[in-house]
Amino acid sequence: MDRIGVVIETDRGELKKTNFGVITAARRSGAELYALLPDEFAASYQPLLEKYGIGKIIPIVSESGAVIFNPASRAKAVIQALYRFDIRTLFGLASPRGKDLLPRVAAELEAPLAMDCTAVAPEESTVVKSHYSGKVIAKFRLSGNYRIYGLRPNAVEAVAAPAAAEILPFQARTEPEALQFVESTERTDTGAELSEADVIISGGRGMAGPENFALLFECAGLMRGAVGASRAAVDAGWIPYAHQVGQTGQTVSPKVYIACGISGSVQHFAGMKTAGMVIAINIDPEAPIMQRCDYFAVDDLFDVVPALIENLKRLIGDR
Ligand SMILES: Cc1cc2nc3c(=O)[nH]c(=O)nc-3n(C[C@H](O)[C@H](O)[C@H](O)COP(=O)(O)OP(=O)(O)OC[C@H]3O[C@@H](n4cnc5c(N)ncnc54)[C@H](O)[C@@H]3O)c2cc1C
């Protein structure tokens, strides 16, 4: 039976839920699924990984414990696990971490790499990706002894298919790297990670200033969503770059994307066009986003968003 390795990402000791879409995509080939965990393993991960069909869980450790977050040594540890378990196909998230790790693995193995895929068929080695700011959807075929796929977070819906998993810890050999890990700092801004969120409410130049983003954070908190932004808002210094959606920001695929005071440039759409539903709030009925959304409100966001917050509070209070 073919084997597929899936690099599993965690965040603050919890499995990221976007892993489950990646596992679902890998499972469709009928291969045996190996979850590769370079982050510290917790027993609570096992039932969740089993729920989506993982057959083997490989916690990867180094001689001194967990593999520290150095992308160079992590890539080597993952490659050693691929060799050890004879895995030729590797899946992962095209998340910030995945974009650091997967290309290093591919380069070291001289393997073809397809990043930011919106669909994958590993049994025929093909992927679907968007190009030129989303104007072209292309299908590629990968060939080689090893094949590496990075999936856009949330591009594939997670579907459960319970299995029983065996835990096979693997100790990698680490060597001193040219790239030294010095320190990491936790993000201090509030809100869920963009790529993980089911609902994103984003603000653009129409937000008119940094202080008004508090409205979006309040609204996102009530929806258990995340706050995004256009480049205009980020360039104005109203919100950190980590929130930027678009060609030069993050690519997101939430179930619902609410654009507030965003005109809908090609570059912005490049980052959110795969959202399940797009809702635009804009005073200009001629704004490009109005032609490309599922629902719109031709209205002032400073009237609509507070009304949305009030309604959400009422709904939550009624439950
Ligand atoms: C190489 C390159 C890369 C780029 N990458 C990105 C990227 O990653 N992400 C990105 O977003 N952009 C990117 N851009 C910039 C992009 O071209 C646009 O300039 C940008 O997206 C515009 O941001 P905006 O929609 O917030 O601003 P605007 O285009 O100025 O639109 C503001 C909108 O707010 C509306 N508005 C104003 N007041 C209100 C109100 N009170 N209530 C409701 N609506 C209101 C207006 O009607 C208008 O439609 C890139 C550009 C280039 C050249």
Q: Given its phi and psi angles, is residue 101 left (phi above 0), alpha (psi -120 to 50 degrees) or beta?
A: alpha
Ligand 1 proximal residues by C-beta, below 6 Å: 204-206, 230-233, 244, 246-249, 261-263, 265, 267-268, 271, 281-284, 287, 300-302
pLDDT, mean of residues 137-160: 95
Residue 257: per-residue pLDDT: 98
pLDDT surpassing 90 at residue 280: yes
pLDDT at 181: 81
pLDDT, tens only, 57-98: 999 998 877 777 788 889 999 999 999 999 999 999 999 899
pLDDT value for 192 = 63
Q: Which residue has the higher pLDDT, 142 or 177?
A: 142
Model confidence at 235, pLDDT cuts 50, 70, 90, reads: very high
Pocket test for ligand 1, best of 200, 213, 263, 272 (most atoms within 8 A of CB): 263
Average pLDDT value for residue range 139-162: 95
Per-residue pLDDT, 129 = 93
Average pLDDT, the chain: 93
Give the whole-number percent of the chain exceeding pLDDT 90: 81
Q: Confidence class of residue 195 from pLDDT cuts 50, 70 and 90?
A: confident
* Angle of the 213-223 helix axis to the 301-318 helix axis, nearest 10: 30
